A = this chain, B = another copy of it.
């Protein structure tokens, strides 16, 4: 693996085009905190398969378009080279592209919207990183959430963009108490896998396996925490009585998966005490996901990864408790 990567690195060193590809692949990998082009390639395969299987190829296309625009914007803004090369200005862009194409009907204005959102995502990433640096926490996917929320909310005011996959306009849905039914084993496995794949807004078991493979090639701990976080989220959601369909489609689990990876394997050195802390954060992310689903109902926009960002910031701010265990992680 390392040999393969070092050959690739030599190739990139000699070619601006390959370097550009490398940066973009790392950008995809950074959605789950992995600075590795092979991880990015496997994630890209997951995105492609998930879009193709769901019959929405424009979603993958918009993801790639946004990624490239974001990288070019970062170069235009002359940001620091090391962060650009690590893909840290790409991961929010690719998510903006995927989300806009998932929730908005295709059309020429959608592509303009993706380009606008991708460019602004870089400004937002720079801004968030500067704002959070004094507190020693990373920007996470806050830029993606902020930019996408504004763009999606605005579609209700723009006749040129129709939010087909958004809750219907002209209706403010009231809260609905939900009833839980005991899940079958198949439902449970599906809920776990789709919790992983929904990180990229996809409901696909194959995509989930590709994502776990992509994590494993760079960090076995990250893959383990992703899987463990998904299992814990599905179990906690069932115990609390969340709606079965929501759990089985992975929609309560993708934010907890990111929290588990971040708290368990990225920003702290893995260990028993850190694992317990990450588990607490993961369960609370399930609560935060349910809470934001309710809070955003009157606005008819999805929570995206806001629960992950909120809970992870809360759990990363008390740095003093894990100072000895801390990994260094610059930039993101």
Q: Which residues of A contact B (CB under 8 A)?
A: 77-80, 109, 116, 119-120, 123-124, 126-128, 130-131, 134-135, 146, 149-154, 156-162, 169-172, 174-180, 239-243, 246, 280-281, 283-284, 287-288, 290-295, 298-300, 313-321
Contacts and interface: CB of A to CB of B under 8 A. Distances in A.
Contact of A157 (B78, B294, B320): B294
A78 B135 contact: no
A172 B298 contact: yes
Contacts of A171: 174
23 contacts: A77-B318, A116-B283, A120-B314, A127-B315, A131-B135, A134-B134, A146-B314, A150-B287, A150-B288, A151-B287, A151-B291, A153-B295, A154-B240, A154-B288, A156-B175, A156-B290, A157-B290, A158-B178, A160-B180, A160-B240, A162-B177, A169-B177, A170-B176
Given A154-B290, A290-B158, A170 B180 contact: no
Given A131-B135, A158-B290, 12 more contacts: A109-B240, A128-B317, A150-B291, A152-B291, A153-B290, A154-B240, A154-B290, A156-B176, A156-B177, A160-B239, A170-B176, A294-B299
A124 B299 CA distance: 27
A79 B317 CA distance: 13
The 6 closest A-B pairs by CB, nearest first: A127-B317, A160-B241, A159-B241, A126-B318, A153-B291, A157-B290
The majority secondary structure among interface residues of chain A is helix
Contact of A299 (B150, B156, B241, B298): B298
A135 to B, nearest CB: 6
A116 B128 CA distance: 30
A138 B133 CA distance: 18
Contacts of A77: 318, 321
B119 A280 contact: yes
Nearest to A146: B314
Contacts of A174: 169-172
A291 to B, nearest CB: 4
In this complex, which of A130, A152, A280, A319 has the most chain B Cβ atoms within 10 angstroms of its Cβ? A130
A158 to B, nearest CB: 4
Nearest to A152: B291
In this complex, which of A79, A157, A290 has the most chain B Cβ atoms within 10 angstroms of its Cβ? A157
A243 B154 CA distance: 12
